[in-house]
Amino acid sequence: MAMLSELLKFNVVDADGRRARLRDLEVALLDDEYPRVTGIHFSSNGSTLRLDWEAVTGVNSSAREIRVSDVKAGRKVSEKKGVAGVLLKGDVLDALIIDLLSRRTTRATDLRLDVSDDSMELKAVDTGLGAMLRRITRGAFRGGKNRDMFDWKYVEFLRGDPQAVDSGAGYHMRIGRLPAGEIAQIADYIPYLHAAELLTLIADEKAALVLQAMSIERQVQVIEEFDEEQAVALLTMMSPDRATDLIGRLHVPTMKKYLALIPMKQRERIIDLLRYPEDSVGGVMINNTLCIGDGTTVKSARQQVRSHSKERDFIGVIFVTESANNKTLRGTLTLRALMDAEDDEKLSEVMDPYVVTLNPQDNSVDAAYRVMTGQIGAMAVTDPDGKLIGAMTIESAISQVVSPGSALNAVKVFS
């Protein structure tokens, strides 16, 4: 085992005795859980050269030497082009890292590598005081505690460059294993460019879930960092109400451009929601609720529930209307009640007809208390003719009453 801070004091020595100072180690992060060193960077005659690890003939820790066949065989590293792999000193050391086990951010103060004669592997990140002392005393201090070490297997490091993935930079790609809400929590307090970069490490569908779980201010910063295609893809995959909140905060020309590119079904839902002011029920409701005609049988309703469950805003309340085409609200039905009922019963027989509705122009905070004190999953929102136009969910209600900085602002659990 050796620490990077110690390795950086090693010399690169070839068979003819030519010496050069080791500058950095390059790894391919995607190759393994514990990535191997794939190249060494060293300085010779004022320029930085690179050699593949295959050129290394041995490592002599006591003499602080990395032996190579020929120092002169090193290829010059172009600053503009950069390198394909990840540089341990240049990219990882002092960078912001996320420990996926504790879900917290810290900085990589030193790196621990497993060193053998023919290979080096990145094993852990040292974040402790010992690592700091080791670095500022240039190795005179040799202590450190194991509890400050983070196993590399559970570490994600970020560069603060949202375009890095597209330009072929290597990543650990482990962050995507966390639940969307937890990723969003992290993305909320790291710098916004890091947050945007973090989303690029996750599959689009999950990235949309993460994005909508972030604070709205952070969502705006992040989406502006993506190109048009990526931004539209994410807005399309978000819940319509969350996409509406986000799109409503963008600059008007951007908003119009994105609206024109979003697929029609999602676009119409967004435009429908954008008609209402932010502090009204219409401004916080969802509008892709499941509504089924009251003459429908329980069996058929269950099938409709199953197909609707793929929708982003699936909630546990079914709104029973006069018919599939006539949205005049007749009652509501919970999923539990639907499960309890007999297959051949009609919805009009099993629904709860005593429904309290909200007007889309109602004040959203007043309505939020109504939903929460009523202890229901969602309250119907109807137009003056009694036609269903959406629902205020318990999540929307919570977001209206918690403080602006609260993580509960973006809670999306029940739908």
Partner 1 sequence: MKSRKEGVEGLEPIENIGSAGLSQSPSAVPAAICINYRGRRIKLHGLRLPPKGIWKWLIILGPGLIATSAGNDAGGIATYSSAGAKFGYDMIWVMVVLTLSFAIVQEMCTRLGAATGRGLLDLIREKFGIAWTLFAIAIIVVANGGVTVSEFVGIGAASELLGVSRYISVPIAAVGLWYLVIFGSYARVEKVFLLMTLVFFAYPIAAILGNPDWGAVARGAVVPSVRFESEYIFLLVGVLGTTITPYIQIFQQSSTVERGAARKHYGPERLDAYFGSIFSNIMSVSMMIATAATLYVIGQHDIQSAADAAKALEPVAGVWAGTLFAIGLLGASLLAGGVLPLATSYAISEAFGIPKGVNLDYRRGKVFFGLFTAFIVFGAVVALIPNIPIFPLLVGIQVLNGVLLPIILVFILLLINNEKLTGELKNTKTYNVLGWGTFAIITLAVVVMLGGQILETFGIDLFAK
Among 359, 372, 401, 411, binds partner 1 (CB under 8 A): 359
Query: Could you say whether residue 413 binds partner 1 (CB under 8 A)?
Result: no
Residues 256-275 that bind partner 1 (CB under 8 A): 256, 259, 271, 273-275
Nearer to partner 1, 13 or 83 (CB): 83
Nearer to partner 1, 166 or 366 (CB): 366
Nearer to partner 1, 71 or 155 (CB): 155
Binding mask 372-411 toward partner 1 (x if CB under 8 A, else -) reads -------x--x--xx----------------xxxxx----
The answer to whether the beta carbons of residues 43 and 34 sit under 8 Å apart is no
Nearer to partner 1, 205 or 349 (CB): 349
Nearer to partner 1, 117 or 352 (CB): 352
Q: How far is CA 295 from the centre of its chain?
A: 43
Task: Give me the half-sphere count of Cα atoms (radius 13 Å) on the Cβ side of residue 312.
Answer: 22
H or E element: which one contains 371?
A: helix 364-374
Among 52, 160, 182, 414, binds partner 1 (CB under 8 A): 160
Alpha helices in 114-191 (DSSP H): 129-136, 180-189
Residues 51-90 that bind partner 1 (CB under 8 A): none
CB atoms within 10 A of CB 76: 10
Among 370, 372, 401, 411, binds partner 1 (CB under 8 A): 370
Binding mask 311-340 toward partner 1 (x if CB under 8 A, else -) reads -----------------xxxx---------
d(C-alpha 53, C-alpha 146), whole Å: 29
> Residues 73, 79, 85, 89: is their CA dihedral positive or negative?
positive
Among 278, 303, 324, 326, binds partner 1 (CB under 8 A): 278
Which residues in 9-46 belong to E strands, given as ranges? 11-14, 19-27, 37-44
Phi, psi of 153 (to 5 degrees): -55, -30
Residues 108-147 that bind partner 1 (CB under 8 A): 109, 132, 135-136
Among 34, 48, 154, 248, binds partner 1 (CB under 8 A): 248
Number of residues that this document lists for the chain: 415
Q: Which residue has 């050069």 as its token pair?
A: 20
d(C-alpha 210, C-alpha 175), whole Å: 11
Which residues in 108-220 belong to E strands, given as ranges? 110-115, 120-126, 149-151, 155-157
In whole angstroms, how close is the CB of 341 to partner 1 at the nearest point?
Answer: 8
Binding mask 18-47 toward partner 1 (x if CB under 8 A, else -) reads ------------------------------
The answer to whether the beta carbons of residues 21 and 48 sit under 8 Å apart is no
Residues 205-234 that bind partner 1 (CB under 8 A): 215, 217-218, 220-221, 224-225
Q: Which residue has 């676009």 as its token pair?
A: 267
